[in-house]
Structure 1
Amino acid sequence: MDNTTTLTFTMTAYAVLENHKKELFTLFLFLYVITVILNLLFIIIIQQNKELHLPMNVFTCMLCLNEIYGSTALLPAIMSLLMSATHEVPVAWCKAQVYFLHTYGSNEFSVLAVMGYDRYVAICHPLHYHSIMSTSKMSKLIALAVLWPCITFGCLFSLTLRLSFCGKFIPKLYCVNMELVKKSCTSVSYISIVGLLFILVLIVPQLLMIVFSYVKILRVCLKLRSESTRNGLRTCIPHLLSLMSYSAGALFEIGQTRLDMSHVAAETRIFLSLYFLVIMPVVNPLLYGLGTQRIRLLLLKLPTRRKSSQ
């Protein structure tokens, strides 16, 4: 390994996309614009209609804000590097992207866990829903969902910030913490072990909350089988689809940075590492927006509102 301290990293995965960079630039620009528009539209609809100021919708707004945050940390950078001749980024820039993307991913999982708890309360304790999911409780859950990942990952990331780097090449489209650790000038296997522990700390509490919530929900649904319970279960479908898709992509990305996946085609690895970061921010507002009858009706009324205002 070269002993010269690295000042810039070269993102080598862009070489695979060289022949299609203009088409991909257009695609990523389209996805970014659509992501921002759809998520902002959902937030505005919820904000302007007091009857939609329910905990689940508030949590969904948090999810939408997080989608904008993550997409802004990722897509403009990818578009810039696609059109770059060298595909180089400064080390400080790479570190910043690592923090933004990892906190985005952790926040996503935390908000999905809180949404699962909300569905548990709504279905298993419907008569006490508003007293349990009070404004105070909702605020605490939002604060926990945001602060827990940021502080927890921040502790791990403080170890990475102390490193100096000798490796220059990162075989990805974006920076991740484990790739930075691999490029350290000294052996830092302890950071890899600490990183696994932090992954467990970040993910296991949320997983336990989700598993607890849906085990209780299924037990209630199997016992009661009433129409209201079935209707409540339908409201879980967007959440489950979002959770499963995001979890599958995140687990692949974690595995890809720690295991040898050279047997998988480079294009496949690139797609699998991107889809949960790029596609889910577009799909989530559609899932939750179009999956909610009140929001569907409000969207259908938008053209008539515009005409009447004119």
Structure 2
Amino acid sequence: MMHFLMGQKRIAYILAIAQAFSVHTYGAAVLTVLGAMAYDRYVAVCEPLRYHAIMTSARLHTCCALAWIVALLLIVVLFSFHINVPLCGQRIDHVYCSNRGILNLACIPTPTNNIYGLAMTWTLSTGIFIIIGFSHIRILSASVKQGRNDKSVRIKAVQTCTPHLVVYVLYEIASLVIIVTLRFPSLSQNIRKFFSILVIIIPPAINPIICGLVSKELRSSIIKHFSIKVCPKRP
């Protein structure tokens, strides 16, 4: 934002690495956190009476820590391949620094980084897809059994699953757009930049709305807040 507002277009190499590392860590952590959330929802719906016994405070903290540790370790290995890679170029034609953008400046081919990056993306995406799919299938199965005589149980299960799935699908589509645009050099640079900005801004902006508005208490609070602002009580 500072570079954008002040018109500066230069960045030190170490800061470029730090920025790219942060962007990729965010991308990996989104998936791992969504996987942890899927497990939490599975326990809440399928084992409601044992939820507090299973998801203790210590286990909750462990799940959150593991989600971030896994993401950090994967990205640390990815960026370890940057060590001793000579750079010949100095121009990154993009709106922010990324692993691929920096390695495009390398004087030599970087097949190891490419192979690891694709393998990591495929493994992480597939693993989280399996976790989320398994969790939601079990949730829907349990809700059907529990809600045979109570329609509200099925409705609650759908309300529990839908926001999580929408956030997951939204993020996967955004990631796919980034991967596709990077793999097709014939695409216009302006198109790449436009989609890159959308991917960074849209999902984080929409996620709180999708997840938050499911909460009845939050909806009531928002409606109450705006009703007071729009129609203040007369003295």
When residues 150 and 262 of structure 1 are mapped into structure 2, their CA distance, relative to the original with a 3 A threshold, is: same
Pairing 1:199–2:124 present: no
Instruction: Quote how far apart the aligned CAs of 1:177 are.
Output: 0.4
Instruction: Quote how far apart the aligned CAs of 1:174 are.
Output: 0.9
TM-score, normalized by length of structure 1? 0.66
> Does the 8 A contact of 1:117 with 1:213 survive in 2?
yes
Instruction: Quote how far apart the aligned CAs of 1:262 are.
Output: 2.1
Match of 1:262 in 2: 186
Deviations 1:164-218 (A, max 9, x none): 2112332321111022222211122122112222223433332221111112123
Within a 5 Å distance, the mapping from 1:35-184 to structure 2 comes to 76-77=1-2, 80-81=3-4, 83-84=6-7, 87-184=9-106
Aligned residues: 225
Q: Of the candidates 209, 215, 226, which is equivalent to residue 292 of structure 1? A: 215
Once structures 1 and 2 are overlaid, which stretch shifts more, 174-183 or 295-304? 295-304
Match of 1:238 in 2: 163
Instruction: Quote how far apart the aligned CAs of 1:300 are.
Output: 5.1
Instruction: Quote how far apart the aligned CAs of 1:106 are.
Output: 0.9
Task: For 2:32 and 2:141, locate their aligned partners in 1 and report how far apart those are by CA, in whole Å.
Answer: 24
Pairing 1:274–2:204 present: no
Higher RCO, 1 vs 2 (CA within 8 Å, ≥6 residues apart): 1
Match of 2:174 in 1: 249
Task: For 1:132 and 1:172, locate their aligned partners in 2 and report how far apart those are by CA, in whole Å.
Answer: 46
Instruction: Quote how far apart the aligned CAs of 1:266 are.
Output: 4.1
Once structures 1 and 2 are overlaid, which stretch shifts more, 200-209 or 125-134? 200-209
Task: For 2:129 and 2:62, locate their aligned partners in 1 and report how far apart those are by CA, in whole Å.
Answer: 19
Q: Of the candidates 206, 216, 222, which is equivalent to residue 138 of structure 2? A: 216
SS of the residue 2:81 aligns to: helix
SS of the residue 2:102 aligns to: helix
Q: Give the letter for the 2:23 counterpart.
A: L
Q: Give the letter for the 2:10 counterpart.
A: E
Instruction: Quote how far apart the aligned CAs of 1:256 are.
Output: 2.4
> Does the 8 A contact of 1:110 with 1:149 survive in 2?
yes
Instruction: Quote how far apart the aligned CAs of 1:90 are.
Output: 2.3
Instruction: Quote how far apart the aligned CAs of 1:149 are.
Output: 0.4
Task: For 2:110 and 2:193, locate their aligned partners in 1 and report how far apart those are by CA, in whole Å.
Answer: 26
TM-score, normalized by length of structure 2? 0.84
Task: For 2:191 and 2:107, locate their aligned partners in 1 and report how far apart those are by CA, in whole Å.
Answer: 30
User: Which residues of structure 1 form unaligned runs of 5+?
Assistant: 1-75
Instruction: Quote how far apart the aligned CAs of 1:248 are.
Output: 0.5
> Does the 8 A contact of 1:149 with 1:202 survive in 2?
no
Q: Give the letter for the 2:128 counterpart.
A: Q
Q: Give the letter for the 2:186 counterpart.
A: S
Q: Give the letter for the 2:218 counterpart.
A: I
Pairwise CA RMSD: 2.4
Task: For 1:162 and 1:218, locate their aligned partners in 2 and report how far apart those are by CA, in whole Å.
Answer: 51
Q: Give the letter for the 1:260 counterpart.
A: F
Instruction: Quote how far apart the aligned CAs of 1:219 are.
Output: 2.3
Match of 1:50 in 2: none
Deviations 1:266-302 (A, max 9, x none): 4433232222310122212222222211223344566
